[in-house]
Amino acid sequence: MKKRQSIKEYYIAIFKSRNYVMHLHQHLNRKGLLEYELISTPCKIEAGCSYSLKFYNLQQLDVLLRESRLINRKIDSIYLIERKNKKRYYSEIDFYSRLPLI
């Protein structure tokens, strides 16, 4: 029997609107960027929307920021989720410094 690999950390992007996250997810899929997963926003995170985008590294964050800006879908916040001792820890990260200048 194969043992499932446990991902110890990942990121989620939070949006104000369900329409924003759905539109951005469709946009990413059409461009062949399939590494972004549409998930339910964890209950511990107070957000305006019940859906989020999940991804696994900060390089994917750079692409996500570029594409969200391209179609004018603002990301409200980014969280790092870490699993330690069978518990999840949520920490909001500062992503504003990664935004491209216009």
Q: What CATH number has the domain bearing residue 17?
A: 3.30.70
More confident residue, 34 or 97: 34
Q: Which tens digits make up the pLDDT trace of 56-86? A: 998 999 999 999 999 999 999 999 999 998 8
**What pLDDT is recorded for position 81?**
95
Measured between alpha carbons, how far is 22 from 52 in angstroms, rounded to an integer? Answer: 9
Q: What mean pLDDT is reported for the chain?
A: 87
* Domain tally, the chain: 1
Mean pLDDT of 26-37: 97
Phi, psi (5° rounding) for residue 86?
A: 65, 20
Measured between alpha carbons, how far is 48 from 76 in angstroms, rounded to an integer? Answer: 9
Phi, psi (5° rounding) for residue 46?
A: -80, 115
Residue 27 resides in a domain: yes
Measured between alpha carbons, how far is 81 from 78 in angstroms, rounded to an integer? Answer: 10
Residue 20 resides in a domain: yes
Residue 101 resides in a domain: no
Measured between alpha carbons, how far is 76 from 88 in angstroms, rounded to an integer? Answer: 21
Measured between alpha carbons, how far is 55 from 13 in angstroms, rounded to an integer? Answer: 8
Q: Which domain holds residue 27?
A: 9-96
Residue 4 resides in a domain: no
